[in-house]
Chain A
Amino acid sequence: MDFEYDDEQQALRDAVRGLLTKAYGDFEKRRTATRGERAYDPDVWRQLAEMGVLGLPFAEADGGMGAGPLEVGIVAEELGRVLAPEPFLTAVVLAGGAVAAAGTDAQRAALLEPLAAGESLLAWAHDEPGHGYTSSASATKASQEGDGWMLTGTKEPVVSGEHADVLVVTAALPDGPSTGSGGAGTGLFTVAADAAGLTRTGYPTHDGGRAALITFDGTPAEALGEGADATAVVERVLDQARVAAAAEALGLISEALSATRDYLTSRKQFGVTLNTFQALTFRASDMYVDLELTRSLVLWAAMVLDAGSPEEASVAASRAALQVATAGKRVGQEAIQLHGGIGVTAEYSVGHRLSRLRALEAQLGDARLHTARLAGRVASYGEVDPLP
């Protein structure tokens, strides 16, 4: 048993940290990036591609690095540390992950290589208005059109969908197998951004990103793989993204605590620094407890994802997601409170950390969802054993 990164993993972390600190170590640069057209810095995206980060989890044959969840977690944590707005989670982990899992050899070659090279942006078009957290699609329907497919319906919010070159879309199959929820099966499709009958309306999101309402009206689409029910693939991709998002959250809360500590030792009130007041330092101590427990669970989840069965991975993903949903919210809120008024200003980073934490939760499931997923299993075993 070992919870330390090996030399290669440390080198990856150092390289990514170096790049991102240069890019966003000054928070003003992040603000500038999020106000840009794409809400992230295309230059930073290109540098991440050059470093191999955008192809990290994909097989080497597909233009990737063949790395696992631990390496993805390292990158995500570093992105969280500096609140980098680049769409790594949606483009690489979600959309790229779905292509890697369901695509044919030709599709993987056509889509993942340009993604890894930073030449083509993929977006994950899965959420539908009013449908909550689900691995199936219903507001977007797929129908067969000759040899090909056609999509009709709505996807929203599609993070980074406004500027994506290719959309990876979930859609209800016409007469696919029933899923547990009684709906039709869900297929995975890719749609070119300039396809006929596709409209998109972009808007900013509270965490500094951009999302889009995307509608399809008889839009030509290509099925990923065989065009069969892909619900299980969607679930697996969502679980992978949950663990990556948990790592990003870890970076977010780790730096939220650092900033709070620095503030408490420098800000003066009543003629003394704030750390003179025990009521404040005790709250910072509780933030530290949350941080360490979160780090343990996030590292563990990545290891289980790497080595465990799909069911074990799914449980681990929920465990990590539940931890960051509760501890992350607590730390994010406390960081603002301990900063006082400056914490809610746009020029200061701590407030944006809570905003990003809430965005991750909104994208991949909140405490209620993951508690429910875990609660459904509590009667089936005695003790939770962390060791395989």
Chain B
Amino acid sequence: MRLELSAEDAAFREEMRTFFTTQVPQSIRDTVAAREELSKEQIVESQRILNAAGLAVPGWPVEWGGQDWTPLQRHIWHEEMQSACVPLPLAFNASMVGPVIAAYGTQEQKETFLPQTANLDIWWSQGFSEPDAGSDLAGLRCAAVRDGDEYVVNGQKTWTTLGQYGDWIFNLVRTNPEAEKKQAGISFLLIDMTTPGVEVRPIELIDGGHEVNEVWFTDVRVPAANLVGAENQGWDIAKFLLGNERVGVAPVGAVKRVLAHAKEWVGEETLRDPLVAARFAAIENELLALELTALRVVAHSADGKPHPASSVLKLKGSELQQEVSDLVVELAGPGSLASGAGDDSGVPGWARVATPAYLNLRKASIYGGSNEIQRQIIARTILGL
């Protein structure tokens, strides 16, 4: 048992740290540090810088731009990026649809989509959830009916994050309503969002921001060539995608960074308040335990088998993310009420965004498989209950 990084991994960490802190524009990193909303242009610019250096999609197959890194190196890459306030590569592209196309796509689909997906030339949206299909995803109804060389899509998707920027959407659609098991009648379809009949409608959230959308499909005609995998194989593909989504899902680096910034924001005098200091100490301890658990999982996953403890990462990671956001609201005090004030406000920016950020992060224990789903997974698959 050994805690230190090997010389090679330590050098790798240094290389990542240097790249992220020198090659990604300070203005973008400042936006992340201030917990402000990134513009589409900032996200695209950042990902293109990473992609040019081979750092946008290291998890992909090497021939499509991936890196032959160890799980630990991928972990270091991920943590250092967060620590340097670099926006993570767009998850819909980098960790969702990209790996799916690489694993299930035709050669033509790979050549058409993968380079553009890695470089964020295409901004992908996710079309999974529906009003009646959230945690029970297999209950989805959005239908695709084969008509010659095309599918005709009708239905509605919801919670489509950043769908307002989407160029394409990867959709789970029902292709066989008669299937005995509802999982068996689903397909995975790529849809150009400029196709007639696609309509994106914003959903306003409690933090006042516009982050998620409804997407409506009315007689949308999609070339059958945009089907990924076989017809009615969509559920297998979705499970593959969601499995990837869970990897690296504990935002340890980002939460640690916010906690460290919070110390700077409030200053030493506030940190001398014993109750404040005790709260920092307690959260830091749990965060350290989580980070070490992530490292244990990574160190163990070298043989390709997921570590059973990986299921705690999403659960505890989201809880701690929320707890830190709650702490920041308390530290902001009455200043947190100035959430709508402009830049001429006397209240510092971090305090003004504290409550919107806290409210926004209520989503963390809901998306990506709610924490109740995670508890169910632990109970069933790990504890055998």
Q: Which residues of A contact B (CB under 8 A)?
A: 1-6, 9, 70, 257, 261, 264-265, 275, 278, 281-282, 284-286, 288-289, 292-297, 299-300, 302-304, 307, 319, 322-323, 326, 371-372, 374-379, 382-384, 386-388
Contact = CB atoms under 8 A, between A and B. Distances in A.
A289 B292 contact: no
A294 B288 CA distance: 10
Contact of B1 (A3, A261, A378): A3
Interface residues of B, number: 52
Contacts of B385: 261, 264-265, 275, 281, 284
Contacts of B86: none
B293 A296 contact: yes
Given A6-B1, A378-B277, 15 more contacts: A275-B385, A288-B312, A288-B383, A292-B293, A293-B312, A294-B289, A296-B296, A297-B289, A303-B1, A323-B286, A378-B271, A379-B268, A379-B271, A383-B259, A388-B4
B312 A289 contact: yes
B257 A383 contact: yes
B190 interface: no
B287 A384 contact: yes
A379 B273 CA distance: 11
Given A3-B299, A374-B281, A288 B382 contact: yes
Given A275-B385, A293-B286, A303 B293 contact: no
Contact of A378 (B284, B288, B290, B383): B284
B282 A322 contact: yes
Contacts of A4: 1, 299-300
A275 B277 CA distance: 40
A300 B3 contact: yes
B289 A296 contact: yes
A293 to B, nearest CB: 4
Nearest to B377: A285
A148 to B, nearest CB: 44
Contacts of B316: 289, 293
Given A292-B312, A296-B292, A307-B3, A284 B281 contact: no
Nearest to A326: B282
Contacts of B379: 275, 281-282, 284-285
B278 interface: yes
15 contacts: A1-B3, A1-B9, A4-B300, A6-B1, A261-B383, A281-B385, A285-B315, A288-B312, A292-B309, A372-B274, A374-B281, A378-B263, A378-B271, A378-B284, A387-B3
B272 interface: yes
Contact of A3 (B6, B296, B376): B296
A70 B1 CA distance: 8
A264 B379 CA distance: 11
Contacts of A257: 383
Given A3-B296, A297-B288, A379 B277 contact: yes
A246 to B, nearest CB: 12
A379 B284 contact: no
B120 interface: no
B18 interface: no
B77 to A, nearest CB: 15
A371 B278 CA distance: 6
Contact of A293 (B4, B282, B293): B293
- Top 5 closest pairs, chain A to chain B, by CB: A375-B277, A296-B292, A382-B260, A374-B281, A293-B289
B290 to A, nearest CB: 6
Contacts of B295: 1, 3, 296, 386
B265 to A, nearest CB: 12
B258 to A, nearest CB: 10
A285 B4 contact: no
A322 B285 contact: yes
A383 B3 contact: no
Interface string B1-45: 111111001000000000000000000000000000000000000
A300 B72 contact: no
Interface of B: 1-6, 9, 72, 83, 256-257, 259-260, 263-264, 268, 271-272, 274, 277-278, 280-282, 284-293, 295-296, 299-300, 309, 312, 315-316, 372, 374-376, 378-379, 382-385
Contact of B3 (A264, A289, A304): A304
Contacts of B72: 1
A285 B257 contact: no
B377 to A, nearest CB: 8
B296 A282 contact: no
A91 B260 CA distance: 41
Contact of A2 (B2, B282, B312, B383): B2
B272 A379 contact: yes
A105 to B, nearest CB: 31
Nearest to B83: A383
Contacts of A1: 2-6, 9, 72, 295, 299
B281 A2 contact: no
Contacts of B277: 375-376, 378-379
Nearest to A260: B383
B307 to A, nearest CB: 9
Contacts of B271: 378-379
B383 A285 contact: yes
B300 A3 contact: yes
A261 B385 CA distance: 7
A297 B292 contact: yes
Nearest to A378: B280
Nearest to B310: A292
Contacts of A3: 1, 295-296, 299-300
B143 to A, nearest CB: 32
Contacts of B83: 383
A81 B376 CA distance: 26
Nearest to B292: A296
Contacts of B264: 382
A382 B288 CA distance: 13
Contacts of B259: 383
B154 to A, nearest CB: 36
Contacts of B291: 386
A247 to B, nearest CB: 13
A377 to B, nearest CB: 8
